[in-house]
Amino acid sequence: MKYITRIFLLTTVVSCLFGLTLTLILPLMANAGPEDYHFPRKMGTTKDGYPLPLTGKPITKTPVITKTKGASIKKYPEYYIPGKETLADDEMRITACGSWGPAPLRIGQGASCLLVQLGNGDSFIFDIGGGTVGNLFALGVHPAELDKVFITHFHLDHVGGIFPLFDAMGWGRNTPLHVWGSSGYTPELGITAFAQNIMEAAEWHIQNKQSILPRGGMTIVPHEVDISKFSLVQPRQLVYNENGVKIYAFPVIHALAGSMGYRLEWKGLTFVYTADSQPSTFEAEQGKGADVFIHEIFPSAEEFAHYNHMPIQSAEGVMEEHTTPAELGRVYSIAKPRLGVGMHFTLDDNLIDPLFQRWSTTYNDPVLLMQDLTTINVTSDYIVVRQTRPDLLAWPAKPPKLPEGLDMSTGEPSKAQRPSWLTETRLPQEQ
């Protein structure tokens, strides 16, 4: 009997302690913000000294790059916390919202997506792969300002996340979503058909929302880059020119006709993104003089086959369309960026050292391997690389002022209403 009594007392004490713990912890959890965020893994490095993924450190040995020795560098916090830092008038910030590519998505690594923010208040999205929009929203930018998307090509790991961004319409973005991309070899392979298909697939959703929310955001506006105009004489086209920002598109060697890279120029700073491509002197020339040049980088065919459980023949076929570390080093040796960035890589502890070893056979200037929420601050004097500490339950940021004359009216209810006999079975609403 005495043992039963002891067990009962012990159980009671444990229950009380557990209840007290919840009483203390739950309010803290409810008020938790990015300052309380703990990275999924404790800090650690590879044998060669590179930070491991998901430990809160960017995967590089050169997180700070100065143009001149002894240059004055703005003091940044250890981590980027969205909403806590204001960009200088001449400063650029680049954040990877997704850093992976053609394989099943993982919780720790979304598909390709980059957010570029400028000191003039402009924000641009380059590619929007699956699993990336949550990171976009967590970066403290209101959905209404995430309305300019530049697509490199139409592989699903570069466009598959567009539905959640389009769904920001109504309560978030009351103006159209603008999307730039290739005209395609034929119209059905171009950005106009892509935008129309997205809207058609969302028609049920749109009809339901049109009598509830403003209609301004319920459309996608495509901006076609006519790929027939590219040539050695005209290697790139100016596709965006507003507010002092110029964005050029240029073709790259990848899959079907229409794959492109982009070059953004603003206030003497240059960002270049080629996404997937077979390495070429042409793309290297388009990336010349960039402050940050982001390019895909791939493991070996054997490594890719092993981690994705595919036949080696299939992996070798995939590799024919992509770039190895040594090949990327050759591209950067021509382009000579201030920071060369590899992206679209299978993050794994055992693959990092071999990657950098192969990369260093052809290139020895500053390089970075992108992981999700790596943030790069760029000025004419320095580049600083950090990891973002996100608020996983972040509410949307304060919306920008709506344009004057914006039609905030709602449309007519859809004719596709549910049958009345079903609606009549609804339980009475609580008063």
* Model pLDDT for residues 246-305, shown as the tens digit of each residue: 999 999 999 999 999 999 999 999 999 999 999 999 999 999 999 999 999 999 999 988
Does residue 304 contact residue 346 with C-beta atoms inside 8 Å? yes
* Model pLDDT for residues 361-371, shown as the tens digit of each residue: 999 999 999 99
Statement: residue 389 has pLDDT above 80? yes
For residue 356, the model assigns a pLDDT of 98
Task: Kindly state the percentage of the chain with pLDDT values over 90.
Answer: 71
Q: What does the alpha-carbon distance between residue 208 and residue 93 come to, in Å, rounded to a whole number?
A: 37
pTM of the model: 0.91
Which amino acid belongs to residue 203?
E
- Give Cα separations from 212 to 8, 175, 269, 350 (angstroms): 56, 16, 43, 51
User: Mean pLDDT across the stretch 137-161?
Assistant: 94
User: Mean pLDDT across the stretch 311-320?
Assistant: 88
For residue 8, the model assigns a pLDDT of 37
Tokens read off for 305: 């086959």
**Nearest residue to 271 via CA among 129, 376, 356, 362:** 376
Tell me the β-bridge partners of 125: 115, 149
Statement: residue 4 has pLDDT above 90? no
For residue 171, the model assigns a pLDDT of 61
Q: What does the alpha-carbon distance between residue 178 and residue 195 come to, in Å, rounded to a whole number?
A: 9
Query: What are the two backbone dihedrals, phi and then psi, of residue 229, each rounded to the nearest 5 degrees?
Result: -90, -10
Please state which of the ranges 6-20, 189-203, 329-343, 390-404 shows the lowest mean pLDDT.
6-20
Q: What does the alpha-carbon distance between residue 53 and residue 348 come to, in Å, rounded to a whole number?
A: 7
Domain boundaries, the chain: 77-208+215-387
Task: Kindly state the percentage of the chain with pLDDT values over 70.
Answer: 92
Q: Which of the residue ranges 64-73, 130-139, 396-405 has the most confident prediction, judged by mean pLDDT? A: 130-139
Tell me the average pLDDT of the chain.
Answer: 89
Query: Which residues in 200-216 are b (16+ Cβ under 10 Å) and which e?
Result: eebeeebbebbeebbbb
User: Mean pLDDT across the stretch 394-404?
Assistant: 81
* Model pLDDT for residues 154-165, shown as the tens digit of each residue: 999 999 999 999
User: Mean pLDDT across the stretch 298-317?
Assistant: 90
Task: Indicate if the alpha-carbon torsion angle 395, 401, 402, 408 is positive or negative.
Answer: positive
| Strand (E) or helix (H) holding 151 | none
User: Mean pLDDT across the stretch 146-157?
Assistant: 97
Tokens 């703005």 belong to 74
Q: What does the alpha-carbon distance between residue 318 and residue 305 come to, in Å, rounded to a whole number?
A: 10
Statement: residue 94 has pLDDT above 90? yes
**Nearest residue to 394 via CA among 33, 27, 29:** 33
Confidence class of residue 316 from pLDDT cuts 50, 70 and 90?
confident
Task: Indicate if the alpha-carbon torsion angle 310, 314, 316, 317 is positive or negative.
Answer: negative
Confidence class of residue 170 from pLDDT cuts 50, 70 and 90?
low
CATH superfamily membership of 77-208+215-387: Ribonuclease Z/Hydroxyacylglutathione hydrolase-like (3.60.15.10)
User: Mean pLDDT across the stretch 105-133?
Assistant: 95
| Strand (E) or helix (H) holding 113 | strand 113-118
Statement: residue 422 has pLDDT above 60? yes
* Model pLDDT for residues 328-337, shown as the tens digit of each residue: 999 999 999 9
Tokens read off for 299: 């493991």
Q: What does the alpha-carbon distance between residue 250 and residue 231 come to, in Å, rounded to a whole number?
A: 10
